[in-house]
Amino acid sequence: MKKLLILFCITFFVSNTFSQEEKPNVLVFYVDDLRAELGCYGSETAITPNIDKLAADGVQFNKAYVQQAICAPSRMSTLTGLRPETLGIYSIFTPLRKVHKKVVSMPQLFKKNGYKTVSIGKVYHHSVDDKQYWTYHFKKEANSYVKSENIALMKRLKAEGVKPLKGPAYEDADVEDEAYKDGRVSKYAIETLNKIKDDKFLMFVGLSKPHLPFNAPKKYWDLHDKSKFKIPSRTKPEGMYRLALSSWGELKGYYGIPKKVDLDDELTRTLIHGYHASVSFIDAQVGKIMQTLEELDLRKNTMVIFMSDHGYKIGEYGAWCKHSNVEIDVRVPLIISRETNYKKRKTGKTSNALVENVDIFPTLVDFCGLKGPKSDGKSILPVINKPNKNWDKIATSVYARGKKIMGVTATDGKWRYTEWRNSVTNEILQAELYEHKNSLLSFVNLSGNKKYKKTEVRMKMLLEKQFPRDTPFLQNDKPRK
């Protein structure tokens, strides 16, 4: 009897020690150009059943913000836990490791700590960044077309020496998912999950859609009734800074898009249709991967994060794409669902806490019990576990207009205050104050309005804590003018 008791104690101790040492897995869906309008966010036009299901199985953040509304700096910020103003990189042209050799990144830290690290599709904007720190690395693919007429068009444009070489802004071929690159991303993710199912892993699934071109299988276009899409107001906010919005050259670079005039209603509605089809397309890929996670019995020990690198305009303010400090470009969807074997996990909850993408790295360090590098963000694990918890007073973002002008912005969840400054002297060129109650849009700049003076003073003080006027902006690249 005594021997049995000793054996039981030893077994219990070994088992308990193993369970304490067992590290959880992390799966991150990192989506490109996805605005905070999905079924779970109250959209009347988005068809996203799989993302909605994930939201019902976790915590949906209604006030999540990126640090810059452009791909490369935003993704670097997420993967290093450092803000663009700390890295000094504000454009898409400078890879992280060209400037920062010693910054410790998420894949670097996790691989050092025994994790299998996986990058599939578009994770970093520059695939060369941290390639050596990914155990499995599937580089992002170039945009491609499937329809024969578009393939022929691309060959002709290339032969004519057209640069940059861009085809149509959308395509709806009647093909299977894997004919387009995001379908292949989900295929690679499923195959890799089967390979690493017995290992600790950090997996990033980089879904490129709904980034231009809006290329998605016809069945996802057919989910939506084009006639029901409303044309957004082309009115620009009254009193807006002259450079607050871009001239959306990203879209104008595609074949068949007018270069100098607003898009007409027909083309606008077609592009809105294509954007929604692309969102439904990536939603289906999320569903496939989540099903595999369940089938492999990995969900019980895997935190799942669904996030975007920035928001997007589809005609609002008469503008397109991102590249600004306006609310619709810097607010993003963020859904976090804890591992199912965590008994106190929260499901079907929403949080209005102000959180930022720069918080993701320290959150995962905290979640996995690692010792991480210094970060500009902080762990939001307490909010994931208690969604109504009081949190930060502001979230901040930047956007450079060339090397001479820097836009800095802050939100408290209701008000957005922006200063456009001289990048060298920090002289304020113009300020903007917008009210956002329950909308991504605002049409009147209230800066200077006596009625809102107290609000503006308060927001200005909050902004300048993050962007002090006596501190010049670090410049480690050459931002796009």
Instruction: Give me the active site residues, please.
Output: 71, 125
* Pair 232, 315: CB distance under 8 Å: yes
**Can you list the positions of beta strands (E) in 362-441?**
395-401, 405-411, 415-422, 428-435
132-158 burial: b if 16+ Cβ within 10 Å, else e: ebbbbbbbbeebebebeebeebbeeee
In the chain, what is the straight-line distance between the N-terminal and C-terminal CA atoms, in Å? 80
CB 163 within 8 A of CB 251: no
Give the separation between CA 428 and CA 469, rounded to whole angstroms: 9
Q: How far apart are CA 302 and CA 367, in angstroms?
A: 11
CA–CA distance, 474 with 476 (Å, rounded to integer): 6
Please tell me whether the peptide bond between 210 and the residue prior to it is cis, using omega within 30 degrees of 0.
yes
Per the structure block, which two tokens stand in for 218? 């016809």
* Phi and psi, residue 178, nearest 5°: -75, -5
- The CA distance from 309 to 200, in Å, is 25
Which burial class, exposed, middle or buried, applies to 441 when counting CB atoms under 10 A from its CB (0-12, 13-18, 19+)? Answer: middle
Torsion sign across C-alpha atoms 100, 106, 111, 117: negative
Distances (CA, A) of 122 to 29, 270, 290: 10, 25, 19
Alpha-carbon span 450 to 460, nearest angstrom: 15
Nearest CA among 263, 281, 267 for reference residue 229:
267
Segment 231-236 long-range contacts (CB within 8 Å, at least 24 positions apart): 231/265, 231/268, 231/269, 231/315, 232/314, 232/315, 232/316, 233/316, 233/317, 233/443, 234/262, 234/315, 234/317, 234/318, 235/317, 235/318, 235/443, 236/317, 236/318, 236/319
